[in-house]
Copies of this chain bind each other. A is one copy, B any other.
Amino acid sequence: MAKKILPLAPVERLIRAASEGDIRVSESACSALTDELEKIGMKIAKEAIIETKHAGRKTVKAEDINRALDILKLG
């Protein structure tokens, strides 16, 4: 379990939002999903920053994120 950048509570709400009924969510489940979302988020962000620099900018824009999602076949 890595040190977190994303907070656990909103990730727990995300899991609850994905459920239609009555479920409980263990802390370890929140932690596992948070770790994974951070890993995916870092991967997207790194690719986006390459695109930002490639465009000669210092500001990461939505178009860089969207381009990164295309490159990584996500989104």
Contacts of A37 in B (CB 8 A): 37, 40-41
The quantity of this chain's copies bound in the complex is 2
Most chain B CB within 10 A, of A6, A11, A32, A64, is at A32
Whether A45 contacts B15 by the Cβ 8 Å rule is: yes
Q: How near does chain B come to A72, taking the closest CB pair, in angstroms? A: 10
The bracket for how many chain A residues form the interface is 35 or more
Q: Interface residues, chain A, CB within 8 Å of chain B?
A: 5-7, 10-11, 13-15, 17-19, 22-26, 28-29, 31-33, 36-42, 44-46, 48-49, 52, 58-62, 64-66, 69, 74-75
Q: 4 smallest A-B Cβ distances: which pairs?
A: A18-B45, A28-B62, A24-B59, A32-B65
